[in-house]
Structure 1
Amino acid sequence: MSRLNDLFHRKNKNVLNIYFTAGYPQLNDTLPLMRALQNKGVDLIELGMPYSDPLADGPVIQETSAIALKNGMTIATLFEQLKQFREYIHIPVLLMGYMNPVLQYGFEKFCADAKAVGIDGLILPDLPAHEFETVYGSILKKYNLDFVFLVTPETSEERVRRLDQLSSGFLYAVSSSSTTGKDKDMHQVSAYLEKLKSYRLNNPILVGFGIKNKESFEAAGEHANGAIIGTAFVKSLKEYTDPITATNMFVEKILEVKG
């Protein structure tokens, strides 16, 4: 059983997935932030691979990408940083990014290196389903990497079902067709999530885009298996000079955990 399957087998409500950009705020903050997130009770980590043209991301995450690149973060550097991370990080970790830098690195080499360090799966929003089916899916399967597709309120039922069949681990339900970081009324999203639930899909559903606090996290949890928080978290890293303090404070507010 994969780490993702094991997670959702043990916990099918209020799963908290935190996204942040690798190499931000400083180049070597990636692993300390991962440890802090795990220690505070986060269930799943999405590591963003910085890219110079992140079209689906809002201004906050775009800025973190630019800073991480300026700091010297590359895919090769990230894999070097992650070499021993499984010695102390036990929760699932996904890499999220764009196809262009992955193709430049070499898709199969990327998958092999990701598996070698202990990564559980990938989210590449600009990988078309057809290309996944005909070219890349078999490579991901070869290296036992989960792959997560995104759906939006505008995605047809037929396409949702197709992407659910292709996905493994979970299905990423984008709360609306916009960039990351936009404010959402989670109660307006509930009808969309209930529609997804009515399809009785194979994969658990995590909601992303616009989840930013305890209230929106809990609202998402009423209609899905959990939620993904990215923009609000990376924004919080600016609020304290110490990113670990920022991480602890942020997760405590979401989960109301102390100590």
Structure 2
Amino acid sequence: MSNGNSSAKDRPSVGRLLQQARIDAKLTVDEVSSTTRVRVPIVHAIEEDDFSRCGGEVYARGHIRTLARAVGLDPTEVIERYNEQHGVSPPTTPTAPIFEAERIRPEPRRPNWTAAMVAAIVAVIGFVGFTFFNGNDSGDPGAVADGSQTPGDTSGTEQGGEDLEPTPGDPSPTRPDPEESAVAGVPADKVTVKLTVQGGESWISVHDSNGQQLFQGVLQDGDSESFTDDEQIDLVLGNAGAVQLHVNGQEIEDVGEMGQVQRLSYTPGNPEEG
């Protein structure tokens, strides 16, 4: 048993293996970084067997696989070397291109904010419709409720007092703009966060003001999640450059770079002011 451990430690380290393969492929660190979107300082650190800058075990594995492919190595063999030299048990589930092996299933308890948002939009539209029709109500409710002519009435205006047909030039009923309704449906006294992943994948962690975990796992390209709380929402974005973020109905312009780990917190009100 001791001979097996000794031979594993005597073989080139993961960082040395990746560095030598890159040199053999006649690639610079900048070229590898541009191809893999792994930042230059992280590439240097991994080649020196310093995995502390990766942001954790999940990202260390993901970066190693990505770099191995870029320099022409078999990612599975390199990960096995990493497991042997760091005493890490291999994952028991199949791995996806980025971090899928380490995916933590989200807790089943998640509020249905989509239904709440739809209910708020319906309430706004109903209020606007009620206000419009109430403001245009005529003095003779029977003319509106009945809408039928009495026997012998050919004008359509003599009994009711008003012409029920719209005349040219009458303003048409205003309808609420869908986007304005959606913004109006965001509670002003709460913090609401919507995450959408575009152009990649990202590990996401979300906690409320009490430290309760609302979500933790990997969102794929095109996935979207929404969260709300009375006081504060804390986020950890594993690949900030791939995340589109809306807070309290406003888009956050600069979330971060590809491969960058970002820790963010938001409260009710204007996120730019906070």
Settle same-fold status: TM greater than 0.5: no
TM-score norm. by structure 2 comes to 0.25
TM-score norm. by structure 1 comes to 0.26
Structure with more contact order per residue of length (Cα contacts < 8 Å, sep ≥ 6): 1
Larger radius of gyration: 2
Structure 1 or 2: larger helix share?
Answer: 1
